[in-house]
Amino acid sequence: MLLPFLLYLSALLCFTPARAHPQCLDFKPPFQPLQELQFCAMYKNFGCCDFARDQELMKKFYRIMDNFDYYGYANCAGYVQDLLCQECSPYAAHLFDAEDPSTPLRSIPGLCPDYCSIFYSKCRSTIPLLSDDPHLSQLEHDRTRFCQYLELDDSDYCFPRVLSNEVLNKNLGRVTADMDGCLQLCLEEVANGLRNPLAMVHANDGTHRFFIAEQVGLVWVYLPDKSKLEKPFLNITKTVLTSPWEGDERGFLGLAFHPRFKYNGKLYVYYSVEVGFDERIRISEFRISASDMNVVDHTSERVILEIDEPASNHNGGQLLFADDGYLYIFTGDGGMAGDPFGKFGNAQNKSALLGKVLRIDVDNNEKGPLYRIPPDNPFVHERNARPEVYAYGVRNMWRCSVDRGDPLSREGKGRLFCGDVGQNKYEEIDLVEKGRNYGWRAKEGFSCYDKKLCANSSLDDVLPIYAYPHKMGKSVTGGYVYRGCEYPNLNGMYIFGDFMSGRLMSLKENRNTRRWDYSEICMGLGRTCAFPGLINNYYPYVISFGENEAGELYFLSTEVPSATSPTGVVYKMVDPSRRAPPGKCHYTPLPVQVKSKLVTFEPKETLIGVEIPTKRPKLSEVKPTESPQQTTKDWIQELLDILRTEDEYDVMYKTTAFPTTMTTTTTTPRHSRRGRRKKVKPRAVGVDSDFDSRCPDHSSPFLNYAQPAQKMCLESDRKTSPSLAPFPLTEGLLTPAQLCALDGNKHNRKPARFSDATEDLVLGV
């Protein structure tokens, strides 16, 4: 009984405007053409045609217009150009009913009735030249039925109204955001079945392989086509210290390939070990096997550095090579809570290797010491300071990355970003620079933690570029500045997440103010992610981020954060609003000699809560030339082939049916979807289109994975729920959406790794 009422209420509270969903005939987002279009100039800045396609359309136009005398030309040239060029519209898929691969494409774009009427009366003789749809030729003598046939179910998208629709055109080409400014991205599943996957790296050797590490001490090789090698790349499960405990921060924690791996075959790993009664972290060097480029030579291990760990938590774990070619090691403060070791903790103690960013030189270490100190390390001349120290005042940096810099200007290149996990109140993002003090334990985020140390004028610390309170998440997972090629809107955005809340976030530097602007990242609402192969939900324990060799961005999360639970998934970030122009991001991976068996990737996740209506009831009466069920062809390829063919309109229409390989349900009746949703595993998700956009209650992923059955968070709920009363931590008023988010967060409390939730309980801090 309650559910229909809530639905009704949500309908009252929210209004549902047309939600923009630009999409091209190849089922992908539109783009800015590399070379300006000459013929369909109205789509020269943003649309679905590149220069070559534009030229073809122009040729086709002249072929058609050759049939007309001067008056015919004068009357109809504009119409013919309009109709041909709608293929280049950013809404081409809507105009041609190509959003759903299972329904036939139109041969003429959907026209608004008034436009169609005039077109019909002036230029109907062009119809057989534009289309050989037999239906159209039957209707050639009946204007009303002709124009009915060309109408679109969704009249917002008909031509030319689509051009003047403000909602559809206002932010066209930019990242879609909801009313609260939450950026709506989508995901592509890349790998699954992983047990606490905590690193994804590439070897920078031109092969475009990616390597995924599991906490237990296994590293797997994946080829660019997502297939996985059955034989592990590295297996040190026997040596690695970890447990199935969901709060365990020990294990295989990081790996980094030498920048010249291609030539020297070296890689570095960071893991927990037990030596006698001591727990340590160990940084080791390995070499690739001489006989198999996809396997490490397990006998080649050389221990570069070992550090005693006084407690089982806060073990750091990031390893990376920065642009200077040195190896950076990010240690935790040792553990417990409040950095209790020594007089003022480890992090502020430069004689300790814990709570630091270390920098060492591992080149030319065949003879002599396994590593050297870079001569310009900041404290090499300071008495009692360890010369490895590069930066200090670190609590437990979990995931750091180097900015590749703007692809054109190189701006930002070499910056070192980290997420430093907080104690009781704040999580922070830092820009790590040489010799600087990152504050811990004097400070946590912007606030004082140890009042005495904090008041000391010699602290001279660097504040984070961003910090957030524990109402938003309790354990930051640092990410990357997006510098990939495929999604130009994301360039320069630092994208990161929170392990506990599952929140995805972004920072972008304002070039004028030099401040970092924050935007939350949500999963696309409604049909925003309704593209083949894309999904709008993920498991909430965001463990790590990764970049592939081309710079595309990924994150790794899991449903149950235990080193034995095979629920980890790797997701690729996708901007559904805009892609790079075709051909721009092309690369050819170097061949990989595979000796092990290959396991083909099988995606398990689906787009949920989105129904793609089967449109064009009128056309569905037309018998398809082949049944959707019987064919297993790759319909994208098929369509691309068709699009490449000369006189594509003719062929396009003949091929009326495409296999339904889309992951969405096209036939599930509305009312049953909620039932289905309840069964899905908890995950962060983009929301049903029928509880569309403007509802504050669906602005955050928390609501959705927290408890699907309770995910509605309405004004009325809030009033009756005392737990949602004012939140002390945040200055000013929270928006309803934020309140909802907090409420969702409340449902999601579970023990978790890399966080202090458990620690704070245990230690009562």
Binding site for ligand NAG (CB under 6 A): 218, 232, 235, 237-238, 342-343, 349, 351-352, 456, 458
Residue of 133, 309, 450, 520 interacting with Ca ion (CB under 5 A): 309
The neighbouring-strand residues paired with 554 are 546, 572
In terms of Cα–Cα distance, which of 191, 192, 222 is closest to 207?
222
Closest CB to Ca ion among residues 439, 708: 439
What is the spatial distance between Cα 748 and Cα 540, in angstroms, rounded to a whole number?
A: 9
Phi, psi of 300 (to 5 degrees): -90, 5
Residues 321-360 within binding reach of Ca ion (CB under 5 A): 335
* Cβ-closest position to ligand NAG: 342
**316 counts as binding Ca ion under rule CB under 5 A:** no
* Shortest Å, Cβ 450 to ligand NAG: 11
**759 counts as binding Ca ion under rule CB under 5 A:** no
Closest CB to ligand NAG among residues 13, 598: 598
* Shortest Å, Cβ 242 to Ca ion: 13
The neighbouring-strand residues paired with 537 are 685
* Shortest Å, Cβ 403 to Ca ion: 19
Closest CB to Ca ion among residues 272, 557: 272
Closest CB to ligand NAG among residues 160, 342: 342
Residues 430-489 within binding reach of Ca ion (CB under 5 A): 438-439
* Shortest Å, Cβ 570 to Ca ion: 27
Please, are residues 98 and 638 in contact by the beta-carbon 8 Å criterion?
no
Q: E strand or H helix at 504, and its extent?
A: strand 504-509
* Shortest Å, Cβ 463 to Ca ion: 7
Closest CB to Ca ion among residues 101, 251: 251
- Interacting span for Ca ion (CB under 5 A) from 116-124, 125-133, 305-313, 487-495: 305-313
Rg, the chain, Cα only:
29
* Shortest Å, Cβ 585 to ligand NAG: 34
**Which pair of structure tokens corresponds to residue 173?**
């080409």
Residue 439, contacted partner among ligand NAG, Ca ion, none, CB below 5-8 A by kind? Ca ion
| Per-residue b or e along 593-606, where b marks 16 or more CB atoms closer than 10 Å to that residue's CB | ebeeeeeebeeebe
Which residues touch 729 (CB under 8 Å, ≥6 apart)?
A: 425, 469, 470, 471
Exposed/middle/buried for residue 119 (C-beta within 10 Å: 0-12, 13-18, 19+): buried
Closest CB to ligand NAG among residues 107, 562: 562
Closest CB to ligand NAG among residues 345, 736: 345
* Shortest Å, Cβ 308 to ligand NAG: 9
Residue 438, contacted partner among ligand NAG, Ca ion, none, CB below 5-8 A by kind? Ca ion
In terms of Cα–Cα distance, which of 27, 12, 29, 14 is closest to 488?
29
Residue 342, contacted partner among ligand NAG, Ca ion, none, CB below 5-8 A by kind? ligand NAG
- With both helix axes pointing from N to C terminus, report the angle between 51-65 and 70-85 in degrees, rounded to the nearest 10: 150
In terms of Cα–Cα distance, which of 342, 310, 345, 316 is closest to 450?
345
Residue 232, contacted partner among ligand NAG, Ca ion, none, CB below 5-8 A by kind? ligand NAG
Give the DSSP letter string of 284-329: EEEEE-SS-TTSEEEEEEEEEEEEEESSSS----EEEE-TTSPEEE
Q: Residue 213 is which amino acid? A: A
Closest CB to ligand NAG among residues 273, 352: 352
Binding positions for Ca ion, rule: CB under 5 A: 309, 311, 314-315, 335, 438-439
